[in-house]
A and B are shown apart, each in its own frame.
Chain A
């Protein structure tokens, strides 16, 4: 059980690099679904109708108050308990753990980002909304054109750190038989009893992914925050 640099370079790292697309698929799909779901969650949470804000409040509390691993198990094993063998035979893809992992990661992200978005929507300056209303925009149009874009820009830094947390959280999918980077590293570790090569290799891959994701998110923040760039001298 010693660290063998050549073995790591030749065998472990390529296997881990081939697993990167699975990790990215988990992150991107859960990120897109989770962020899209966050919008209705935040809007419902801000509503004055108790039939809307109460469920949203409970949803956010559940997602933020319980461990993601428990949510993952509840989705994976719980849905497995509900889905009958007939359904499983009809839709063989349901055997794959990745769908359950994406589902669990999506609803978790929806809870966390929903709460962030709620704060951001409240932070949109009142005057802008009033001005839009004064122009005769309907409530829906105001929301789509003014409130939501402004809110997203306000909470972009918080949302992008949420995305980095999501990338790290995809590692939990390895516990429900998804062979993403950590799952693959675990597979090799169990097969070869090589502890250092596999886990340190996975660590290097994650650090590289987080570094690149940070760069991408910074670029997105710059692109979407054009209005906030320091003004050039005219």
Chain B
């Protein structure tokens, strides 16, 4: 404990009503929740996108291509704002029009945050997963088909297990990016780590201290995620001989 006469800022990180500790812990929990849900949603969209881009139907190729090109060309913050303000109001209108919901329906910032992050990272993951699928030797897929496996069995047994191995480094990068970009949803009022840091910083005027704490927590998240993905990569590569 610092014995200085000055009040130590670290004491303000205490738990409870007079400290910011619990706010930060809640913020971290929500950042992880938003990032994880957005990532899972993004993985689903990414699989669909990769399927569309690799499909033999030209119109599906074009949809997949347009999706990734547009999302990559737009700033993430703009997409989040667009999906939050324009997307939710359109969705509410549709739902009210169909009669599923009343006029008072509101989409929570959390749901909007997950949806928009998922949509953005779906595009980035599309190309990561597509690269993973393309890295599988074509002969293996042909052999599986020749053995009489249907498309879904071939996907489950041959493509998916091998694709994961090629895609994990890219998936890890996108996970690191989504945890960092999840800070952007504080702009649409979703509560997460940066929101916690900002409310602490603005109410105490100790900007440097609280934003540094916020940055360090994000850094910890990054380092822990890097270690986790390194383990995952080792596990996915366990059947591969090291030369």
Interface string of A186-198 (1 = CB under 8 A from B): 1001000001100
Beta-carbon contact of A73 and B74 below 8 Å: no
Interface size bracket, B side: 35 or more
Question: Roughly how many angstroms separate A186 CA and B82 CA in the complex, as a whole number?
Answer: 11
Cβ of B186: which chain A residues have Cβ within 8 Å of it?
69
Beta-carbon contact of B75 and A168 below 8 Å: yes
Question: Which of chain B's residues has its CB closest to A169's CB?
Answer: B75
Among the listed A66, A80, A168, A202, which residue makes an inter-chain contact with B180, where contact means beta carbons less than 8 Å apart?
A66
Interface size bracket, A side: 35 or more
Beta-carbon contact of A73 and B70 below 8 Å: no
Question: Roughly how many angstroms separate A174 CA and B77 CA in the complex, as a whole number?
Answer: 10
Among the listed A67, A77, A169, A186, which residue makes an inter-chain contact with B201, where contact means beta carbons less than 8 Å apart?
A77
Binds B, one of A7-15, A37-45, A113-121, A205-213: A205-213
Which chain A residues numbered 27 to 49 have a C-beta less than 8 Å away from chain B?
A: none
**A74-B74 in contact given A66-B218, A67-B218, A69-B183 (Cβ < 8 Å):** no
Question: Which of chain B's residues has its CB closest to A71's CB?
Answer: B215
Beta-carbon contact of A80 and B218 below 8 Å: no
Cβ of B219: which chain A residues have Cβ within 8 Å of it?
61-62, 65-66
In the assembled complex, the CB of B223 is this many whole angstroms from the nearest CB of chain A, namely 7
In the assembled complex, the CB of A12 is this many whole angstroms from the nearest CB of chain B, namely 14
Contact residues of A: prevailing secondary structure: helix
**A66-B75 in contact given A73-B211, A199-B81 (Cβ < 8 Å):** no
Question: Roughly how many angstroms separate A65 CA and B215 CA in the complex, as a whole number?
Answer: 8
In the assembled complex, the CB of B204 is this many whole angstroms from the nearest CB of chain A, namely 11
Question: Roughly how many angstroms separate A74 CA and B218 CA in the complex, as a whole number?
Answer: 13
Cβ of A1: which chain B residues have Cβ within 8 Å of it?
89
Beta-carbon contact of A175 and B187 below 8 Å: yes
Beta-carbon contact of A207 and B74 below 8 Å: yes
Leading 10 A-B pairs by shortest Cβ distance = A171-B75, A77-B207, A67-B183, A65-B222, A67-B180, A168-B75, A74-B211, A210-B73, A78-B208, A66-B215
- By a beta-carbon cutoff of 8 Å, the part of chain A in contact with chain B is 1, 61-62, 64-71, 73-74, 77-78, 80-82, 168-172, 174-175, 182, 185-186, 189, 195-196, 199-200, 202-203, 206-207, 210-211
| 9 cross-chain CB contacts under 8 A | A1-B89, A66-B218, A66-B219, A70-B183, A74-B211, A74-B215, A77-B208, A174-B77, A203-B82
- By a beta-carbon cutoff of 8 Å, the part of chain B in contact with chain A is 70, 72-78, 81-82, 85-86, 89, 180-181, 183-184, 186-187, 194, 197-198, 201, 205-208, 211-212, 214-215, 218-219, 222-223
